[in-house]
Structure 1
Amino acid sequence: MRKVYLIVAIWVTAQAVVAQPLKVSAFIDSFVVKNNFNGTVLIAKEGVVGYKKSFGLANFQLNVPNNPDTRYKVASITKAFTSVLILQLYEQGKIDLNKTISAYLPDYKGEGADKVSVVQLLNMTSGIHNMDTGATFESVLKNGIPQYQHPYTSDEMLTLFSSGKLETEPGKVWDYNNADYIILGKIIEHVTGKTFEENLTTNILQPLQMANSGIAHQQNIIDRMADTYFYRADIKALVNDLPVYIENWYAAGAMYSTVDDILKFSNALFGKKLLKQATLNLMFTSGLGEYGYGVWVYKDYDINHKMYTIIKRPGSIMGAQAMLFHVLENGSTIIILSNTGTTSLDDFAARIAEKVVD
């Protein structure tokens, strides 16, 4: 009799998984058309994929379609990986989150060397001059993006763009600053004696069998990588992304991945395979700007008149658009990777959540 109940339970679960795409498919198809979305959408519940579909083109010039195996630049989703690497070192007793930058980078020349803690880098309250200040749509079209259009090393990115003066008192003001995560990447390297890329591969990608993920480099041809295009509102057209050295984003945004690999990371993170629960509690503490350690943490987030905790990690570099959206209490995960800057993935993920979260 127990076997019969087990079979019924498995069948009911399977039916629920099958039913999910039927529920959301029409909405997603409509949203894609209205917003000219190009990319791949994956929806999972408790780690089980219930919906996965690709739309549009990975390369417009050659008419190459996106598919579920397409690799995308995932931009600032990289920061979630960087946070995990730092917190793994914290669990190993190799990093004290309350110590300052100079404890791990003794040659750091920035004003925050003895004032900014590792925690303040993680939660974006360092107060360090923002390395992207002044970058507007108009200025970028006229002058480019100097910090990303020259082949700088990570050491040069640290010295030239991440060692500025303190604009605010550390810990007091939230400011989204890529410099904070470039510093964290260099701390990881100094503590371990290995490159950031080696740490990422050894401690996350290989254990999770994320064979379709890594750090992108401008000179490398990456098989199945989608080209990226951003929307020019002034001419109302998609255009090629500006030429950049993607590796300059380093620990703040240089990764590429697939929806399946990002799900592997999500399942391991929320399944306590990468960090202990006590450490996850630190990472998911919603602070200034509703930001935790490398992720946004929204408490009392209203979905269909019920309150949930949302862990969200978006990414955006011109046409490279990415979203990891996880409902903590419900176990629903929405992953959206795109190669065109035509769609608000914040809005897209929120609307999907309304369809899949009971």
Structure 2
Amino acid sequence: MKEAFKLITLFSTLFFLFCNSYAQGKDDFSSKIDSIIKMKSPRVFNGVILITQKGKTKYKKAYGYSDFDKKTPLTTEDNFVIMSNSKQITAVLILKEVEKGTIDLHSPVRKYLPDLPRSWADTVTVHHLLNFSAGIIDVDKPLIFKPGSDFKYGNTAYVMLGKIIEKSTGRRYIDVANELFQELKMKNTFCFEQDKVQNRVQGYTNSNNKFELVVKPIENENLVPAAGIISNITDLNTWDIKLHKGKILKPETYKLMTSYSITAQHNAFGKEKIGYGYGIRISDKTPLKYIGHTGGGWGFVSYKVYLPESDVDIVILENQSNENLDLFYYFEVKIGEIIMKSSLMNK
């Protein structure tokens, strides 16, 4: 009897060790992410992370503070200003109007905004605004290159796209966007509104791990189409899944959005130039294809990447922006690299 009991105990121990080893082998990323987000150098991480595969949560964590003065811990339900990831939403709103026939991608912007002061309004098209190939630096200044010939990122083009949406719909951009969020059941996503108390975390600038509150991350509502949407990791994951699974745009319109005729480099996506579509970056020449966008500044950072071949989505939001541009997306890049080398990439 004693020998049998010993055998059972030994078998149970070995079985437990095998299961634990197998589980660790299958999840080769969680502990690595846990380790790096606790680093204090070269900067600290202060934000939330959600990683899913085929709609199932693989990693979800909040680390740091939503309010540094009160030492209020962040939660995974907190809302952040997503900065330039707002542009992707504006691009979709434009494309939904294209589907309705109210906007033509290849019409000059003068058709929709007749009061623009510069003659380039007769040659720059909606398409040029969407993929930053217009050469615009300001509505009152000349173009810096021929439309369609190069890439120049900035908020002005997407502020103009917001005005085009308003002209085409006869409604405020804020109302059009908020209605889409309601349709998609993104209950924690909404547009910034001036002088309105809204549920979001505080944003901070980080200088050598010293944090200073940004009182007004968005100066006015005109910037909303370019940088003024507020959301959380769960809603942005919902957005990615529905966008890339054909639940928001028609297949042919989605193809327009994720095709490109222009390339650009961004530190969060490597040293090489990759494609830029409509409010989205496309890396299709790398061993792992991925598409996504970033946002940052004025106290916030957002990073959102989808890997279609493995159906993995990565969403990272921080309520700090680093004064050192080399450190701006430090953790976002590191976490992206961990996931792209992980077992999640094995289909």
Instruction: State the TM-score, normalizing by the size of structure 1.
Output: 0.79
Residue number among 333, 336, 340 corresponding to 1:346 in the alignment: 333
Written as runs of structure 1 = structure 2, the 5 A alignment for 1:105-124 is 105-124=113-132
Residue number among 145, 148, 152 corresponding to 1:168 in the alignment: 145
What is the aligned partner in structure 2 of residue 190 from structure 1? 167
Letter in 1 for 2:202: D
What is the aligned partner in structure 1 of residue 32 from structure 2? 27
1:23 partner SS: coil
* Structure 2 contact 159–222 (Cα < 8 Å) conserved: no
- Work out the CA distance in 1 between the residues paired with 2:140 and 2:163: 12
Written as runs of structure 1 = structure 2, the 5 A alignment for 1:313-328 is 313-328=293-308
1:308 partner SS: coil
What is the aligned partner in structure 2 of residue 293 from structure 1? 278
* Structure 1 contact 123–291 (Cα < 8 Å) conserved: yes
What is the aligned partner in structure 2 of residue 126 from structure 1? 134
1:109 partner SS: coil
Residue number among 85, 102, 107 corresponding to 1:94 in the alignment: 102
CA deviation map 1:49-99 (0-9, x unaligned): 222111100000011111011001100110010000001111111111000
Is structure 2 residue 289 aligned with structure 1 residue 309? yes
Deviates more, 1:76-85 or 1:102-111: 102-111
The gaps in structure 2 that reach 5 residues or longer are 1-22, 265-274, 323-327
> How far did 1:320 drift?
0.4
- Kindly, what percent of the aligned residue pairs are identical? 29
Is structure 2 residue 84 aligned with structure 1 residue 76? yes
The gaps in structure 1 that reach 5 residues or longer are 1-17, 130-160, 302-306
* Structure 2 contact 136–144 (Cα < 8 Å) conserved: yes
> How far did 1:246 drift?
5.5
Letter in 2 for 1:241: V
- Seen in structure 2, the aligned counterparts of structure 1 residues 111 and 241 have a Cα distance that, compared at 3 Å, is farther
Is structure 2 residue 181 aligned with structure 1 residue 205? yes
2:98 partner SS: helix
* Structure 2 contact 116–139 (Cα < 8 Å) conserved: no
What is the aligned partner in structure 1 of residue 313 from structure 2? 333
What is the aligned partner in structure 2 of residue 3 from structure 1? none
* Structure 1 contact 128–166 (Cα < 8 Å) conserved: yes
What is the aligned partner in structure 1 of residue 211 from structure 2? 238
Is structure 2 residue 244 aligned with structure 1 residue 270? yes
Aligned length: 302
- Work out the CA distance in 2 between the residues paired with 1:191 and 1:37: 41
Residue number among 230, 252, 255 corresponding to 1:281 in the alignment: 255
- Seen in structure 2, the aligned counterparts of structure 1 residues 33 and 167 have a Cα distance that, compared at 3 Å, is same
Letter in 2 for 1:321: V
RMSD: 2.0
Letter in 2 for 1:339: N
- Give the greater-gyration-radius structure (CA): 2
Is structure 2 residue 23 aligned with structure 1 residue 47? no
Is structure 2 residue 204 aligned with structure 1 residue 229? yes
- Work out the CA distance in 1 between the residues paired with 2:253 and 2:318: 31
Letter in 1 for 2:295: G
